[in-house]
Amino acid sequence: MDKSTYIQLLEAHNIKPTANRIVVVEALANSMLPQSLAELERRIQTIDKSNIFRALTLFREQHLIHAIEGGNDGTRYELCHSHSEDHDDDQHPHFYCEVCQQTYCLEGLEVPQVAVPQGFEIRSVNYMIKGICPHCQSES
């Protein structure tokens, strides 16, 4: 993907494509794994963390990225796959390895739905599995 692709992506979500925001969205796009704010800070030395944070907040509001929680160390962010402007519908389960502490996307899988009681309105679902990943499995 080149720069103009990211600009289009930002614009599709009504985000003005500033230089910093392009860098942040690019960093997310190039990440295999969902990134925490701290990881993005480490990766993007040129932008202040408050600005990365503000970019992420904006991206989240515009449904360009979504947040996943429940691994261990705070919130992680990943690009939405479905590029809808007003909601996320590409939720997939995540797997947090208790040994290497990486969070994997289980992209091929769907988050199974549960039948919630009458009156609960579902907006989103976080499905986080914890355990040991194949790599750490074979180490032991």
Give the footprint of DNA on this chain (CB under 7 A): 16, 18-21, 36-38, 46-51, 53-55, 57, 73-75
User: Per rule CB under 8 A, is residue 98 in the interface with a second copy?
Assistant: yes
User: Per rule CB under 8 A, is residue 133 in the interface with a second copy?
Assistant: yes
End-to-end CA distance of the chain: 38
Of residues 46-85, those binding a second copy (CB under 8 A): 68-71
Q: How far is the CB of 120 from DNA (least distance, A)?
A: 24
Locate all alpha helices (DSSP H) within 15-75, ordered by sequence. Answer: 19-29, 37-43, 49-61
Q: To which H or E segment does residue 94 belong?
A: strand 94-97
Q: Which does 128 bind (CB under 5 to 8 A by kind): a second copy, DNA, none?
A: a second copy
- Site of tokens 């199974």: 112
- Contacts of residue 31, Cβ cutoff 8 Å, sequence gap at least 6: 78
| Contact residues for a second copy, defined by CB under 8 A | 68-71, 93, 95, 98, 106, 108-134, 137-138
